[in-house]
Homo-oligomer: A and B are copies of this chain.
């Protein structure tokens, strides 16, 4: 249905929140969950993904939390989304350098090559839209 997952939405919401609360102090997963009234555990996992993908920095222990690692103008939506949704593509069978053509209806479907072009354009939209733009 070409819909973003909750994880992606939460990633955007969390990142936006951190970008706005740009005091020196780190933001906790709990604070984000409370402010947005969403599942703490899920946001927590999303934030962990963001950290693994170098979007955020985490601080453990009391007074711990998360801060953005880069400027909101330098964080693309595609970075945020790919962090929580590694295989972000409109159809499975797009040829890439790594993934060589594993389409279920292999060479008979013929729509995958043209769709790769569409994918590029979609990626461009999400690449060019920065966190700063959704604030």
Interface residues of chain A, those whose CB is within 8 Å of chain B, are 1-5, 8-9, 12-13, 16, 35-38, 77, 81, 85, 87-92, 105, 108-111, 114-115, 117-118, 121-122, 125-126, 129, 133-135
The answer, among B4, B109, B133, B134, for a CB contact under 8 Å with A2, is B4
Q: Complex formed: what's the CA distance from A22 to B56 in Å?
A: 54
Report B-chain residues with C-beta under 8 Å of the C-beta of A38.
105
From residue A30, how far is it (CB to closest CB) to chain B in Å?
16
B77:A108 contact, CB within 8 angstroms: no
A118:B3 contact, CB within 8 angstroms: no
Q: Would you give 28 A-B contacts (Cβ < 8 Å), ordered by A?
A: A1-B87, A1-B88, A2-B2, A2-B4, A2-B88, A2-B90, A2-B122, A3-B89, A3-B92, A9-B111, A12-B115, A13-B109, A13-B110, A16-B110, A16-B111, A37-B108, A38-B105, A77-B118, A111-B134, A114-B133, A114-B134, A114-B135, A115-B134, A117-B133, A118-B125, A118-B126, A121-B125, A122-B122
